[in-house]
Structure 1
């Protein structure tokens, strides 16, 4: 299905663009098709033992908060033993827990507690690369002829790297071993890429999946799901690395999105099919949304995250295109869209949308838009508090992007600062008298604390909670069919399901917009919305949900 232009009913000089979505879901569809999944950056969520680092005990203690908020599941960033080079994404042991976070019994207890609260637990898994401290890589360093060496990409000693591939973190994607060989790392040097053409790699990851599924987890978010396989001949990319707006494009044709990777997901899907109610959601950062959607075909990953909204500017054309193109692409393969507006790799919404009160108003409106769309919604911890991007001093930064770029890129630390739970000096992240948080928390963040926002009915937190409650009651939200239209600076998503229709209308302009309405105002993202007669006056940077039976 492709977009169509509809001029009927549009004001002079404007166009209305309508995208039809994929067919509505049935009541028997699995939970993950319309779930609201809360992303927990484990190191920054809650510190249970006072060492200044978030852990599984701290997360367990905060599970009632997530149940109160109304989400369906939580996805936890990597908890495995790690070399510490990239926020846990350099894994040493995939079937263990880093002692900083707890142990395997803590994961089992977390899953059990979450289940009692009606929550599911999704773990992060990192199949593209390991830590350079992984036993396989250590064996390969010691003996170039050992079996473990074939599980990575090594090239013989030479003056120049084997090709022109670049690291996403800056610099070349090849580094030397002490004996002069080259090895591939598309991220940091401490993250050597695995060679998935060695069958031992695939077999070992199947054991990892089963290890955690046997402990009751409900699935996995798959890191760099568009990676894994590289061009078999290690040929040069047609162009050196240049990040496109929406993801990796043809200039990186040899490093990403190789056809063989889809067979990996078919095997993983068959494993999950043995465990009732489990799912796989892939991080697929490709420029072509049609290619992203292919990862969600019925025999592959259950979901592949759509990052268009996350990377779109605050404008009606950008948001309409992001939503409509995703509905089209995923509709063609019969998959729901997995919507994302924030995560651990991108600046916080409030700051991306302009900062200050303007950015906050837009982030509130974007939240209603996100939670109205058909499919699943992924909410990053702290976005429900309206947190801005933190300004982390250079001396406190940990992100390899900052160091690999010689400080030219700020890195991702600013969206990974610990959660403010109360208005105390330590913001309640750790027990009283504990060590300082692993990243400094801005003093101004006390105003965003959960304890304050729970007492304020107009807070961002209450907006999310009320929106989630309404979404759970209205089959039109999350599970219905959707059409997207624009008129000037006003964006409308009309969602229909269960015999009801809910419109999400967002005013992205600078003046008040008059929106025709013959139904009930369910929720607004900000003050100043009023309904004169059969219309709704919608202030700038504000969204409204309108029910129409």
Structure 2
């Protein structure tokens, strides 16, 4: 690996609720994660990104934090965390933890103190409170809409003020104009760095600073979290001042620790601003999450990312799925075609220069679960839109580890979301050691990547319409996005890996091949 591990790592996202359940309560936990570290080691990943595990009412699956220094009892305790971290490090796997600085839970001691205090008090200055207008008592301070649906303002119980929440009402936005908020989060950073974590993924990294005066947005005030529209509450320039104060904190610690931004921006140029040398180390490139499975769209996103990140000396950061978006097997059409395209896109990512993130279960070829009944859903998006948007539960269904059992090996007593009937064939047990399985494909692809590390990207002549080829300095990668085979005889003679077997020198539809240089 390069001197800085985070410049070309493969990082695996663990969603704690849905990874592995050790205590049989139907929800994943830290001990379950610890028990599966050998699995992650065999997969070949360099690091884990661990979604929130902090004390929380779980109104938004842990992204509503009530105590940033405590483990939610559903997941374990600090001793469990320390054992999991020690085992990961012993296996050579680093650990990046989620940090949620845009908002706290309404159950956080700060917000409870704010509600118990008078308007204008220091306690209320930690959040965004605004007076109710007596002349229009039901009109919020501005037209901002919650990402989860409905207004972004809720009245306090006494009816005298509104408070801001870009997400659920149980997630009040913190006021980053307040120095006390800055000092608290520096302390939180040091708490986890002292325990040995290798970095932080920053949730809503583009959202902490709001435009002065909280002006209306254009249109009806609605905005999608998974989108690229700039707004008075997203991607404001002031966020960069925060990260310039955080960077010296993490650099106090040895071990090459990092910050990763979840920053939805309207351009690669805006995203690159988060990656200047005195700010953050990585920022997710979501362009491929939004792109259709077409060569022109993928090439445009790749070129833009490579060019803009080179300008700030940062690695490219590639991702196809996570806990907030529909799994890419389903986005690419589902079934046999969707899985073939998903493997091809993953193999493409693994040959690009930079960092690749893998979302738990994609290595099994898991699909989005679209038919969850309303009574089991938990995503606040579903409820705040009265079911018009089904939300994100479908990509969060617990993993199948075994071919049989009440939760297919996830735990001993079922799981918090039901697993589909066809998932036994997609379980780890069903795929482990089986040639041609998605799991073995991922293991092999990651291994070949490590043996042939990209040093650059040079485009080669396209093999056909809706297909492209490039040299990454270590191998030649050819990707066929089309629905027909394309000839690849001119790109190499020794196949390192193909997501589908070549036929008479032709690369099948929706597949990728790597040739040895």
Give the structure-2-normalised TM-score: 0.95
Compute the displacement of 1:157 (Å): 1.5
Partner SS, residue 95 of structure 1:
strand
Distance 1:28 1:366, change over 3 A: closer
Aligned pairs for 1:12-411 within 5 A: 29-144=3-118, 145-158=120-133, 159=137, 160-180=139-159, 181-243=161-223, 247-250=227-230, 252=231, 254-276=232-254, 277-390=256-369, 391-411=371-391
Contact preservation (8 Å) 1:320, 1:485: no
Compute the displacement of 1:239 (Å): 3.2
Partner of 2:425: 447
Compute the displacement of 1:259 (Å): 1.4
Partner of 1:547: 516
- CA separation in 2, counterparts of 1:284 and 1:314? 23
- CA separation in 2, counterparts of 1:313 and 1:518? 28
Residue 459 of structure 1, aligned match among 426, 434, 437 = 437
Contact preservation (8 Å) 1:420, 1:428: yes
Worse-superposed segment, 503-512 or 398-407: 503-512
Worse-superposed segment, 536-545 or 510-519: 510-519
- CA separation in 1, counterparts of 2:461 and 2:152? 43
Residue 396 of structure 2, aligned match among 384, 406, 416 = 416
Residue 521 of structure 1, aligned match among 476, 480, 495 = 495
Residue 472 of structure 1, aligned match among 450, 462, 483 = 450
The aligned length equals: 507
Could you list the per-position Cα deviations for residues 216-271 of structure 1 after superposition, in whole angstroms to 9, with x for gaps in the alignment? Answer: 11000000000101012111113334557972324x2x111111110111111111
Could you list the per-position Cα deviations for residues 122-145 of structure 1 after superposition, in whole angstroms to 9, with x for gaps in the alignment? Answer: 100000000011111001111124
Distance 1:118 1:485, change over 3 A: farther
Contact preservation (8 Å) 1:75, 1:121: yes
Distance 1:405 1:484, change over 3 A: farther
Could you list the per-position Cα deviations for residues 422-469 of structure 1 after superposition, in whole angstroms to 9, with x for gaps in the alignment? Answer: 10133444444x2x2111111211110001101311001001000111
Distance 1:545 1:28, change over 3 A: closer
Partner of 2:507: 538
Could you list the per-position Cα deviations for residues 192-224 of structure 1 after superposition, in whole angstroms to 9, with x for gaps in the alignment? Answer: 000000000010001111101111110000000
Please list every run of 5 or more consecutive structure 2 residues that lacks an aligned counterpart in the other structure: none
Give the structure-1-normalised TM-score: 0.90
- CA separation in 2, counterparts of 1:349 and 1:257? 26
Compute the displacement of 1:318 (Å): 1.2
Compute the displacement of 1:288 (Å): 1.4
Compute the displacement of 1:327 (Å): 1.1
- CA separation in 1, counterparts of 2:88 and 2:225? 37
- CA separation in 1, counterparts of 2:17 and 2:275? 30
Compute the displacement of 1:313 (Å): 0.7
Compute the displacement of 1:408 (Å): 0.5
Partner of 2:480: 507
Partner SS, residue 137 of structure 1:
helix
- CA separation in 2, counterparts of 1:152 and 1:245? 21
Compute the displacement of 1:348 (Å): 0.8
Higher relative contact order (CA 8 A, sep 6+): 1
Contact preservation (8 Å) 2:209, 2:239: yes
Could you list the per-position Cα deviations for residues 161-214 of structure 1 after superposition, in whole angstroms to 9, with x for gaps in the alignment? Answer: 111111111111111111121000001111000000000001000111110111
Compute the displacement of 1:369 (Å): 0.6
Contact preservation (8 Å) 2:344, 2:512: yes
Partner SS, residue 419 of structure 1:
coil
Partner SS, residue 443 of structure 1:
coil
Compute the displacement of 1:484 (Å): 7.3
Please list every run of 5 or more consecutive structure 1 residues that lacks an aligned counterpart in the other structure: 1-26
Contact preservation (8 Å) 1:139, 1:146: no
Partner SS, residue 511 of structure 1:
coil
Contact preservation (8 Å) 2:147, 2:225: no
- CA separation in 1, counterparts of 2:316 and 2:325? 20
- CA separation in 1, counterparts of 2:108 and 2:67? 7
